[in-house]
Amino acid sequence: MADIDSMIRGHLSQQTYRRKSAGRSLIQGPYPLLQRHQNGKNNCQRIGVEELEFVSQAVEGHARFQQLARRYAELTEQATWERQTPEIKKKFRRFSRPTSPRLSSA
């Protein structure tokens, strides 16, 4: 995580437009687009070609950070359970067992 030096939340995609001119349909683009949720709303912003490399690496940095954070949480939880006494493990064992599917009466 310490090696990640830039992060931007969001997703990069490409945007194109169809436009009619003189009876012909023209396609404009593709334009790089940064999409992300901010303050409960979807925020879309075009990215210039000169900024694309930096923004792309920052989006990948955030995705990598999220992946590493999930893995850290998984390993820490596993280590926590392994340190528990046998009585505690036995008490919570029923939560980790898969349940059989219930048959519905039709």
Task: State pLDDT tens for residues 8-55.
Answer: 999 999 999 888 888 888 888 899 999 999 899 999 999 999 999 999
List, for residues 70-98, the tens digit of each pLDDT value.
999 999 998 988 887 777 767 766 555 55
Please state, in angstroms and rounded to a whole number, the distance separating the CA atoms of residues 41 and 64.
Answer: 24
Please state, in angstroms and rounded to a whole number, the distance separating the CA atoms of residues 82 and 86.
Answer: 9
pLDDT value at residue 94: 59
Query: Residue 26 has which token pair?
Result: 């023209």
Query: Residue 22 has which token pair?
Result: 């003189």
